[in-house]
Amino acid sequence: MAIGYPNGKKSKKEWQKPQSTKKQIEFGNRGMSLEDDLNDTNTYYLAQERAVIHKKPTPVQIVQVDYPKRSSAMIKEAYFKRPSTTDYNGVYNGKYLDFEAKETKNKTAFPLSNFHPHQIEHMTQVTKQEGIAFVITSFSGLGEVYLTMFDAFFPFWERMLQGGRKSITLDEIRQHSDQIPYGLNPRLDFLSIIDQKCF
């Protein structure tokens, strides 16, 4: 369709329908972070009396606080008291659960630099006490989330310490892990995988 102008000349450019500025939203990733998804899932588990799982607070030492108004306070300076262990812990079916949740935009591998030695040591100790330890990894660029039991995850950490790869390839994750499908309630039903692996 050509557009006419007051000078009587036709525009040489064809009119095109403007493209929508709304972003396509995939079911697998609706703008929520992995932490949001897990927090929603754990809230659902608690409401259904299926499990009691919480995100661990990060221990901080507040050093300086400003009070610009009587009704508000602003933390100006704070330090981590000690290294945190893992992100989540709780109780399910009479067993202690402990897991770390990590997210990456990388579409081919998961960098092990996202983990810290004290977290690996903590999960090692949990498994020695017959607790259930695992890692949940999200490939946000792919909209895929995986649960890897700690016993399957640890060899990749050891490989890195021995001078090997500093990441776990997506193919390795897929081979040694279970994909957690996205749902509505719960958002990420990781306990269904724990049921298959541990009970």
Residue numbers belonging to the annotated binding site for Mg(2+): 85, 87, 100, 119
Tokens standing for residue 37: 């998804």
Cross-sheet strand order for the sheet of 144-149: 52-55, 88-92, 95-104, 132-139, 144-149, 178-179
CA separation (Å) from 29 to 25, 56, 72, 179, 191?
7, 24, 35, 14, 20
Binding-site annotation: residue ranges: 85, 87, 100, 119
| Residues contacting residue 169 through CB under 8 Å, at least 6 positions apart | 108, 109
- DSSP-based three-state secondary structure for 47: helix
Are the CB atoms for 55 and 43 separated by under 8 Å? no
Q: For residues 132 and 199, what is the distance between their CA atoms, to the nearest angstrom? A: 11
